[in-house]
Amino acid sequence: MPVELRPYQREAVKTILTDLREHSVAFQAPTGSGKTLIALEVAKELGSSSVFTRTLSEYMPWERDCRKLDMTFGGLAGKERFCLKPQVKLDSSVVRVTQCRSCPFFTSCYSKKQLQQNGIVKYLEKLNSRGKCGYSWLKREDADVYIYTYPYYFFYKGLVKGRSLHVFDEAHNLMHAHDLMGITISVARIQRLRKEYTGTDVESSVLPALDALESWVTEGAKSGELPPDLGEYGLEEVEDHTLASLSRALEKVGDPSYRLYVTDQGISIKLLDPAELLSKLNDDRWLMLSGTLPSKAYMEKAWGLKDFKLVAVNPYEFKLSFFWDRDLTTRYGQRTAYREEYVRKVSELRSQQGITLVLVPSYEVASWFKGVADYVEDKSSSVSSVPESGLVVVVARGKLSEGVEFVKEGRSLVKRVVIVGIPYPNTSDQYEKDELDYLMSKVGKRTAWSLLKEEASVIMRQAIGRAVRSQEDSAEVYLLDKRAGPFFKDMGVPLKKVRLM
């Protein structure tokens, strides 16, 4: 039965289509408002389109809504995850095949119907369990909509189909898209790759390249030598995303937009300027979707985007109550003095039902609440380990503060959100300090701090968004820092509606 769009959804589709005639569009609407359906209706009008998500798990809502609109989907999921590593006889030797076109499973006779029923990831997993690989078939399969993860747009665009429109889901995550360019190369990682490629059809190309790379990581990088050119070894012919990412990163050593960090474990190459990556979008027509987009000025100055419209829709008001404590701060140099008071107040704010979600600016501050909270995030935390009730402490820019669903039967488990301090970048971290210095040199100190405020605002709004996953949800929000005043405007909350604690 066809899906009937709500009036505000039809109006949003009309507005977006009008703007897309001459511009790209950034579309902001709250969770539960049907952004996916709106985007697919737009794609239906424009023709074969591509969708990019942050993770493979985020494919499922798009597949579900494609079925609702009677649209077919295709796309790709990482080859490394599904490759069966077949062996064939080559020059009297048995080797493992790494290249799709040499693979005995390279075929075009899989089931379109089963793909639509199961979804991309589940379909590939089912084939894999039966000793089959559908990856190369998916590359050529035609559909109305193609679904990929972010790296496919930025690094493997030759594999992307659906060029009428590029849709970016949860687009606030593009704020950290330059992390996609970051890579750490250790001796242990090189040795794992060497073991993986020994005895394969591309051994003669890969192993010499890894030898040259290990020599540079252990000696050359420390003395300032330029890295080896892995292209000289013919690695562009090897179908491996890890090797491709190594080559890309090494080519950037010496570029002023990047930094090279030498550690005891190896080397790290990191991108400082997100515009270096995101400005690629200016060559295409795109539609960004999020409930918490940064401002248009931020997207222009920090992301390097041009010629786009910002469209915002809010069809309903969530039931949120805001409270502000103006006596505390986690400002660097002052936070230790307020530690005990923070622990006391957060403990008193524990909700009697569901989760009290506490957002803190760093793992250091998170450690204050060990022994008090029911769960405290650390660098080894996983979503599955979070309880369904109690005091849960999560770290800004960590695994649990953004994009994680604390939901049961369609309703949010989060009843209170407590924001401890302001999640500005940690300038005691060398990489984040280098990012800030680069940004200030590019746009000026005053503008740079304004852009950093935008980033902190998105992180705070994302945490608050964990409490409002349906129109029926309600929650209390507590901001515990004297510097929080300017952020209420970003949240759409007049100061006269904020209660002082």
Domain ranges of the chain: 7-74+117-178+283-312, 319-500
Whether the Cβ atoms of residue 488 and residue 495 lie closer than 8 Å to each other? yes
pLDDT of residue 440: 87
pLDDT of residue 445: 84
pLDDT of residue 304: 94
Number of H helices, E strands in the chain: 18, 21
pLDDT of residue 263: 84
| CB-side neighbour CA atoms (13 Å) of 208 | 10
pLDDT of residue 316: 67
Give the span between the Cα atoms of 340 and 336, in whole angstroms.
8
Give the span between the Cα atoms of 477 and 486, in whole angstroms.
16
CATH of domain 319-500: 3.40.50.300
- Torsion sign across C-alpha atoms 115, 121, 122, 126: positive
pLDDT along the chain (501 residues), means of 10: 85 97 95 92 97 93 96 93 87 87 86 96 94 92 96 94 96 86 91 94 94 95 92 86 90 92 90 93 97 92 95 82 95 89 96 94 93 89 81 88 75 93 85 87 85 90 85 90 93 91 90
In CATH terms, the fold of domain 7-74+117-178+283-312 is Rossmann fold (3.40.50)
Distances (CA, A) of 316 to 24, 446, 448, 468, 475: 26, 35, 34, 12, 15
Whether the Cβ atoms of residue 104 and residue 86 lie closer than 8 Å to each other? yes
Determine the distance from the C-alpha atom of residue 213 to the mean position of all C-alpha atoms in its chain, rounded to a whole number. Answer: 29
- Tokens 């515009």 belong to 275
- Residue 316 burial (C-beta neighbours within 10 Å; 0-12, 13-18, 19+): exposed
Give the span between the Cα atoms of 415 and 42, in whole angstroms.
35
pLDDT of residue 121: 96
DSSP H/E element including 338: none
Give the span between the Cα atoms of 486 and 457, in whole angstroms.
9
pLDDT of residue 499: 95
Give the span between the Cα atoms of 495 and 224, in whole angstroms.
54
Give the span between the Cα atoms of 323 and 348, in whole angstroms.
14
pLDDT of residue 451: 84
pTM (2 d.p.): 0.90
> Do the domains 7-74+117-178+283-312 and 319-500 sit in the same CATH topology, yes or no?
yes
Give the span between the Cα atoms of 189 and 174, in whole angstroms.
27
